C-alpha cells in the first residue's frame, strides 16, 4: 500500500475532506483512510501514524477540500524528487468562501500581512529546502521513515505543525514545498474569529521554542514590539493629549512627531499593500477591509506572544 491518509477530527464536527477522498481518481487498493476522533489534533495524528500501513503518510485537515488528482500530484513530486522526506503544499482560500473570509485570506497570503508565513497561503515556486514558515499539517506528506522517528507534540495546539517541521529538520530529514498538490481551507469568517486565531498562534510560540531561537528570526518578534509601541503611544497620548498636535501640525522639530513616525510609516505601508493586494487578487472591495485586517493580525499575534511569555515565566 502506498498512502495512509490521516484525518484528525474533533468530536461532533463535520469532515468535508472525507467526501473529497471518496472521489479521488486513484486506485483504491493503493491507499487507506484513518479518521481519528479526539480533541487533541497531535494525539489524533500520532494515533494515525501508529495505525498507518502506507509508504507515505498524508496529513489532511478535516474541514478542507482537495482535488481528484491530489494523490497523482504527490506521485509526480516524488518521481522527480525521490530523496525528499517531507513535502507540503499550499492551503488556499476557497473561491466560494464568504467575503470577509476571502479578504482575510488575501491578508494572510500577503507579504505585509504575514511576512514569510504568507508562503503557506499562496502559490509559490517549488522549493526543495524550506522551514516551518512554508508548511502546515493541513496539507503535508511524509515518508513513513520520517514519522516513525518524529511525532507531533501533544502539549501544543496550535503550533504543533511548526514544531514537527522544526524537529524533522533537526533530525536531518529533508523538507520541501511544492505548489503541485493544492488544498483549499476556509478562513475565519469574523473579526473575532481571526483575532482569536492570531492570538493563539502568537501565544504558543514561547512554548514551542526558546527565546533565543525566536530572536534569531525577528519577524516573529516584531508584532510584539509593535503591540508594545502602540500601547505606549496610547498611554502617552492619554497623559499628554497635546502631543498629537505635533503630528497633525507636522512639527518636525517636536519629539512627539518622531515618536509617531513609525506609526505613520506603518500606515503608509498598510495603505500601499491594501491597494497592491486588492489589485493582486482582482478584488476592489478588499481595499475597504484589508486596512483593518493587517493591524488586527499583527497586534493579535504580538499580544498573544507577550501573553505566552508572561504565562511561561509566572
CA angle 224, 175, 223 (to 5 degrees): 5
Mean pLDDT confidence for 304-308: 98
Tell me what pLDDT residue 5 has: 98
CA 12 from centre of chain: 24
Mean pLDDT confidence for 290-299: 98
Domains of the chain in start order, with CATH, are: 3-185 (3.90.550.10), 191-313 (no CATH)
Tell me what pLDDT residue 255 has: 66
Q: Is the pLDDT reported for residue 245 higher than 60?
A: no
Local confidence band at 239 (pLDDT 50, 70, 90 cut-offs): confident
Cα–Cα distance for residue pair 294/271, rounded to 1 Å: 10
pLDDT in tens, 64-80: 999 999 999 999 999 99
Tell me what pLDDT residue 64 has: 95
Mean pLDDT confidence for 238-258: 65
Please give, one letter per residue, the 3-state secondary structure of the chain.
CCEEEEEEECCCCCCCHHHHHHCCCCCHHHEEEEEEECCCHHHHHHHHHHHCCCCEEEEECCCEEECCCHHHHHHHHHHHCCCCCEEECCEECCCCCCHHHHHHHHHHCCHHHHHHHHHHHCCCCCECCCCHHHCCCCEEEEEHHHHCCCCCCCCCCCCHHHHHHHHHHHCCCCEEECCCCCEEECCCCCHHHHHHHHHHHHHHHHHHCCHHHHHCCHHHCHHHHHHHHHHHHHHHHHHCCCHHHHHHCCCCCCHHHHHHHHHHHHHHHHHHHHHHHHHHCCCHHHHHCHHHHHHHHHHHHHHHHHHHHHHHHC
pLDDT in tens, 184-209: 999 999 999 999 999 999 999 999 99
pLDDT in tens, 31-68: 999 999 999 999 999 999 999 999 999 999 999 999 99
CA 26 from centre of chain: 29
Amino acid at each position: 500500500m502506498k498512502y495512509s491518509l490521516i484525518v484528525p477530527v474533533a468530536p461532533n464536527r463535520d469532515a468535508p475532506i472525507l467526501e473529497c477522498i471518496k472521489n479521488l481518481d486513484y486506485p483504491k487498493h493503493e491507499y487507506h483512510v484513518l479518521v481519528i476522533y479526539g480533541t487533541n489534533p497531535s494525539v489524533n495524528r500520532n494515533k494515525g501514524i501508529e495505525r498507518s500501513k502506507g509508504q507515505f503518510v498524508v496529513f489532511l485537515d478535516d474541514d478542507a477540500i482537495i482535488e481528484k488528482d491530489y494523490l497523482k500530484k504527490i506521485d509526480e513530486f516524488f518521481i522527480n524528487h525521490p530523496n525528499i522526506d517531507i513535502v507540503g503544499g499550499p492551503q488556499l482560500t476557497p473561491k466560494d468562501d464568504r467575503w470577509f473570509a476571502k479578504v482575510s485570506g488575501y491578508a494572510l497570503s500577503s507579504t505585509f500581512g504575514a511576512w514569510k508565513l504568507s508562503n503557506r497561503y499562496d502559490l509559490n515556486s517549488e522549493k526543495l529546502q524550506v522551514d516551518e514558515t512554508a508548511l502546515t499539517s493541513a496539507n503535508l506528506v511524509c515518508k513513513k521513515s520520517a514519522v516513525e522517528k518524529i511525532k507531533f507534540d501533544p502539549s501544543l495546539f496550535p503550533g504543533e505543525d511548526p514544531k514537527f517541521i522544526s524537529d524533522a529538520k533537526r533530525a536531518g530529514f529533508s523538507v520541501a514545498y511544492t505548489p503541485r498538490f493544492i488544498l483549499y481551507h476556509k478562513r475565519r469568517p469574523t473579526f473575532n474569529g481571526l483575532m482569536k486565531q492570531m492570538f493563539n498562534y502568537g501565544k504558543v510560540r514561547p512554548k514551542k521554542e526558546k527565546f533565543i531561537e525566536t530572536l534569531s528570526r525577528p519577524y516573529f518578534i516584531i508584532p510584539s514590539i509593535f503591540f508594545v509601541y502602540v500601547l505606549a503611544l496610547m498611554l502617552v497620548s492619554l497623559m499628554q493629549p497635546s502631543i498629537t498636535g505635533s503630528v497633525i501640525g507636522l512639527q518636525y522639530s517636536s519629539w512627539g512627531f518622531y515618536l509617531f513616525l513609525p506609526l505613520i510609516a506603518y500606515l503608509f505601508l498598510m495603505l500601499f499593500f491594501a491597494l497592491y493586494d486588492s489589485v493582486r487578487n482582482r478584488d476592489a472591495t478588499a481595499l475597504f477591509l484589508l486596512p483593518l485586517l493587517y493591524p488586527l493580525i499583527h497586534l493579535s499575534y504580538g499580544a498573544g506572544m507577550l501573553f505566552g511569555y508572561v504565562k511561561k515565566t509566572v
